[in-house]
Structure 1
Amino acid sequence: MKLGYFTMPMHPAHRIWEETLREDRETVILADKLGFHDAFIGEHLTDVHENITNSMIFLSSLVGETKTIKLATGTSNLSQLHPVLVAANAAMLDHMSGGRMILGVSAGALSTDAEALGILDEDRNQLFQESIDVILRIWEGEPPYDIDLPNNRFKVSTRRTYDLGIGVGRLPKPLQAPRPEIVGTVLAPFSKGVIQMGKRDFHPLSANFLLSKWVKTHWPNYVQGKKDVGQVADPADWRVARTIFVADDEATARAYGRDDARSPYRFYYEQISKKLRRSKRLFVLKNDKDQPDEEVTYDYIMDNLMICGTVNSVVDQILALHEEIGDFGEIVYAGMDWTDPVLSKRSMELMAHEVMPRVNAALAPGRSLRNAG
């Protein structure tokens, strides 16, 4: 099982933007030094707490500061940009990083972003579908392209102006052939979008604020998508994000990871629950759709979504998760504000150097991957 990193990111509004951007960069640099496999970075335009506005710009600043970690958009919000821009910029980042780029994609869920861009009343899921289709056609094609797909608003051509003799009219291709890995973040229980991911060889990343019982529903749909195109699903392609804090002692783990009023994990889930309530998506935190909203308390959320404790305790909790949902290829560590930088860094170190070796040692003997067919 690989270890990855994902951050939305989320910081208290009073913090200075320059400082949080520097901190977010330091976190990815540390993850690289600790051997994390990849780092997914989220983006929003109008959120004072989640204040990375463009994940590709942010990731480009890390190319020279990192060596092996894969740099992933988490996600590029495809409803918000013309697909030519996404395809060209992702291709450049792939070359800049020496082929370490992963394209994480989604429609873009924040309504205030959509309103600011004048697309609040648009079907952003439809925009997403149209955009990804065109991005793939661009990477597969050659000039003058002439991309005009049925029921797709994005038409791409350079036929009227291209001149390959002087080098104009050609869009760049990624370094990785035929394309970088494409990852979609999955939030909804029983998500039908995961079936489409399987069909198109995109890889699912199950969100950290989704109950494990709902995370479990993603895999059968991915298997179905693969079956539909005559392929067998590989659990190595499934990423599962969880909210994790590891400490040297239980008292510290309990305080910083949950109980202290200044806990970044408390701040994170208070913000998440408010946003889910506002967008009428609180169901992702519920055991069933009829559960009353008032039962979704802070303690309830932490009991169901937080992996917290010493090394041995966290190992046990990850193994219990694995037992519940089955095999998956990567556990993705959710990044938080560094309220206490020492404790935050120590958690990542313990996760990489102590937790994951023990998890993998426990899984190795006689390990049998689920029957994906």
Structure 2
Amino acid sequence: MRLGYFSMPLHPLGRTWAETLREDRDAVILADQLGFHDAFIGEHLTDQHENITNSLLFLATLISDTRQIRLATGTTNLSQQHPVLVAANSAMFDHLSDGRFILGISPGALTSDAEALGILAEDRNKMFAEAIDVITAIWESEAPYDIDLPDNRFTVTTASTMDLDFGVGILPKPLQQPRPEIVGTVVAPFSKGVIAMGRRDFHPLSANFLLPQWVATHWPNYVQGKEAAGEVADPADWRIARTVFVADDAAVAEAYGRGNADSPYRFYYSQMLKKMRKLGRLELFKTRRDQPDDEVTLDYVLDKLVITGTPESVTEQILSFREEVGDFGELVYAGLDWVDPRLAKRSMELMAQKVMPDVNAALS
């Protein structure tokens, strides 16, 4: 099982933008040094707590400061950019990173982003589907292009302006062929989008804030999509994000990972709980659909979704989680604010150097 890294990221107010961006960079650099396979970075335009407005731009600052880790948008919000821009900029990034690029995609869920861009009334899921069709078509075809797909608002051609003698009218292609890996974040139980991912050989990443029983619903849908394409689903292609904190001492793990008022894990899930309650999506945190809303407390959510403890305890919890959801290829460690940098870094070290080797030894 591989070890990956994911960060939205989400910081408390009061810290400077430069400071939190520096911390987010340091986390990815440390992940690279510790041998993490990849790093997914989220983006939002209008959330003061989530400080990265463009994941590709942020990741570009890490290319020369990392060596082996794959750099992934987590995600590029496809309703917010023209697909030609995504295709061209992603292709350039793939060359700059010497093929270490992963394109993570989603529609873009934050409604205040959509309002700011004037697309609040649009069907952003449809815009997402249209955009990815155009991006892959650009990478698969040659200039002058003739991309005019049915029921798709985006048409792409350079037929009237292409001049091969001057080298104009030609969109760039990525270094990785036929294309970089494309990963879709899955945030809903029984997601039908996972079926489409399987059909198109995109790979799923199940969100860290989903209960294990809802995570387990993703794999059968992915298998269904792969079978529809005449292919066999490989568990190695399934990533699952989890919120994990590892410490040398069990009491420290419980305090920093759940109990303390200033715990970054407590802050993260208090924010997520408020957002999901406002959006009417508390069912993500429920063990059954008819569970009363007042049972979904912060301590309940922390108990269900934070894996914390000593390396031995965390290893056991991850193996138990795998028993519940089934085989998967990568555990994606959710990075949070570094309230205590020493503890945050030590957790990543223990995860990479102790927990994952022990998990893989048990699995083998």
TM exceeds 0.5?
yes
* Count of residues paired in the alignment: 364
Structure 1 runs (4+) greater than 6 angstroms displaced? none
Q: TM-score, normalised by structure 2?
A: 0.99
1:181 CA displacement: 0.2
Deviations 1:217-261 (A, max 9, x none): 000000000011110000000001000000001110011101111
1:281 CA displacement: 1.4
Unaligned ranges ≥5, structure 1 = 365-373
Deviations 1:326-360 (A, max 9, x none): 11000000000000000000000000000000000
The amino acid of 2:25's aligned partner reads R
**For 1:169, what is the secondary structure of its paired residue?**
coil
For 2:70 and 2:128, the matched residues in 1 are separated by 24
For 1:135 and 1:280, the matched residues in 2 are separated by 32
**For 2:156, what is the secondary structure of its paired residue?**
coil
Deviations 1:16-55 (A, max 9, x none): 1000000000000000000000000000000000110000
1:13 CA displacement: 1.4
**For 2:155, what is the secondary structure of its paired residue?**
coil
Which residue number in structure 2 is paired with residue 55 of structure 1?
A: 55
1:207 CA displacement: 0.3
Structure 1 position 146 matched with structure 2 position 131: no
Structure 1 position 136 matched with structure 2 position 144: no
1:291 CA displacement: 1.2
* Residue range with higher mean Cα deviation, 211-220 or 296-305: 296-305
Which residue number in structure 1 is paired with residue 317 of structure 2?
A: 317
1:169 CA displacement: 0.4
For 1:153 and 1:96, the matched residues in 2 are separated by 30
Deviations 1:140-183 (A, max 9, x none): 01111121000000011111111011110000000000000000
1:14 CA displacement: 1.1
**For 2:131, what is the secondary structure of its paired residue?**
helix
Which residue number in structure 1 is paired with residue 201 of structure 2?
A: 201
The amino acid of 2:342's aligned partner reads V
For 1:93 and 1:314, the matched residues in 2 are separated by 36
The amino acid of 2:124's aligned partner reads R
Structure 1 position 23 matched with structure 2 position 33: no
For 2:41 and 2:139, the matched residues in 1 are separated by 23
1:101 CA displacement: 0.2
1:214 CA displacement: 0.4
**For 1:68, what is the secondary structure of its paired residue?**
coil
For 1:281 and 1:149, the matched residues in 2 are separated by 33
Which residue number in structure 2 is paired with residue 241 of structure 1?
A: 241
**For 1:308, what is the secondary structure of its paired residue?**
strand
For 2:21 and 2:180, the matched residues in 1 are separated by 26
Which residue number in structure 1 is paired with residue 306 of structure 2?
A: 306
For 1:90 and 1:13, the matched residues in 2 are separated by 31
**For 1:178, what is the secondary structure of its paired residue?**
coil
For 2:69 and 2:280, the matched residues in 1 are separated by 36
Which residue number in structure 2 is paired with residue 367 of structure 1?
A: none
The amino acid of 1:269's aligned partner reads Y
Which residue number in structure 1 is paired with residue 281 of structure 2?
A: 281
Structure 1 position 210 matched with structure 2 position 193: no
Which residue number in structure 2 is paired with residue 10 of structure 1?
A: 10
Which structure 2 residues correspond to residues 1-373 of structure 1 after superposition, within 5 A? Answer: 1-364=1-364
The amino acid of 2:269's aligned partner reads Y
Q: Percent identity?
A: 71
The amino acid of 2:193's aligned partner reads G
**For 1:245, what is the secondary structure of its paired residue?**
strand
For 1:124 and 1:292, the matched residues in 2 are separated by 30
1:278 CA displacement: 1.3
Please, what is the CA RMSD of the aligned residues? 0.5
1:277 CA displacement: 1.1
1:294 CA displacement: 1.1
Which residue number in structure 2 is paired with residue 370 of structure 1?
A: none
**For 1:332, what is the secondary structure of its paired residue?**
strand
The amino acid of 1:59's aligned partner reads L
Q: TM-score, normalised by structure 1?
A: 0.97
Deviations 1:187-213 (A, max 9, x none): 110101000000000000000000000
1:302 CA displacement: 1.1
**For 2:144, what is the secondary structure of its paired residue?**
coil
The amino acid of 1:2's aligned partner reads R
The amino acid of 1:299's aligned partner reads D
